[in-house]
Amino acid sequence: MSDLILGIETSCDETAAAIVEDGKKIISNVVASQISIHQKYGGVVPEIASRKHMEYIIPVIDKALDESGKKITDLSAIAVTYGPGLIGSLLVGLSVAKAMAYAQNIPFIGINHLEAHIYANLLEHNEIKPPFVCLIVSGGHTSLVYIRHFGEYKLLGQTKDDAAGEVFDKITKVLDLGYPGGPITERLAKEGEPSSIKFPRPLLNDGSYDFSFSGLKTAVNYYIKELKEKNKIIPVKDILSSFQQAVVDVLVEKTLRAALEFKTKQIVLAGGVAANSSLRREIKKKANLLNIKVFYPSTFLCTDNAAMVASAGYYKFKENKKSSLSLDAVSRLPLERKYY
């Protein structure tokens, strides 16, 4: 018999619910994005985020059930993100998931958002087998992780200041280009020259697997500031192209180095920035030369969604790793922490 898992995700921008069969087959996948609301403000507004989640959560879950053609009584378990993220937002999904699981008397499984991003890859790629190295890179995170077995993670390094995706958002805000910064940068960068401006590549050769994007952010901002003060034309496309190249260079270099050190033949990308085509292209090109295969999810599974939560939930469910109904939302949640 197959197992149907309902996944729920409300950690940041998106209110999402999905039903996944046996951890692989997406039966339904609904995402109500708040981006149109946040666009006005140039970023996530926490108060609006939690209020909108409350408004959307029940209709989104209903829609996921409707589209799947399944009934609530067909579910084997409910999986939900409990961290990391905005506390108020996490609580909305978590509370609904607990109530539903309790009412249906089925297991409730708390999922780490970062782990869910890794599992997004398993929805599409059967070939992924640990050990592998995974780069999780988004608006809130930049982490390099070694996965020996599923569920066993070694954090190799992470950002010491800003997340890569966050810097994209901040730079496009300085340039008055809007939100979210990733897709906007990618589009305009294509028409620019990536080597036209020399921006720093922080920590590129420091020997660690940590990242730092704050110095790059400052350098880009100062470059723009100086041009503005001198009333010069701002070469937006060249700036974005050179900036994106600096981010990609650091991400690719450190990820490849980790794969070589841990002698893995697979690299997995996860998180919203994994949708960046420049990152995908460059890492594939270089990994090919080293005989290393690179995997990443389709764009709709890179950004926040609930199918990845349901997928992660399925594997926990199979290992009988249920969560207690007293599980709390956790704003800062490292990958290693046990959830059950």
Partner 1 sequence: MVKMNFTIITKSPEETKKLGKEVSKLVKPGDLLAFYGELGAGKTCFIQGISRGLEVKDYVTSPSFTIINEYQGKIPIYHFDLFRLNNAKEILELSYKEYFYGEGLTVIEWAEKIEQFLPKEHLKIDIKFKDRYQRKISFIPQGDRFNNFLEELSRIENIRD
| Residues within the interface to partner 1 (CB under 8 A) | 12, 40-48, 50, 84-88, 139-140, 158-163, 166, 169-170, 174, 214-215, 217-219, 221-222, 225, 331-332
Nearer to partner 1, 191 or 226 (CB): 226
Tell how many helices (H) and how many strands (E) occur in the chain: 11, 10
CB of 161 to partner 1, least distance (A): 6
Rounded distance between C-alpha atoms, residue 261 and residue 127, angstroms: 21
Q: Rounded to whole angstroms, how far apart are CA atoms 129 and 265?
A: 10
| Residues making up the chain, counted from first to last | 340
DSSP state of 84: S
Q: How far is CA 248 from the centre of its chain?
A: 16
Nearest distance from residue 45's CB to partner 1, in Å? 6
In the complex with partner 1, which residue's Cβ is closer, 63 or 160?
Answer: 160
Two tokens at 17?
Answer: 């619910």
Instruction: Please name which of 42, 47, 37, 2 lies closest in space to residue 21, comparing C-alpha atoms.
Output: 2
Q: Residue 215 Cβ, how far from partner 1 at the closest point, in Å?
A: 7
In angstroms, give the least distance from the CB of 38 to partner 1: 8
Which residue number, 59 or 200, has a Cβ lying nearer to partner 1?
200
| Cβ distance to partner 1 smaller for residue 47 or 127 | 47
In this complex, which beta carbon is closest to partner 1, that of residue 20 or of residue 136?
136
Q: What is the CA radius of gyration of the chain?
A: 20
Distance of closest approach, residue 116 Cβ to partner 1, in angstroms: 16
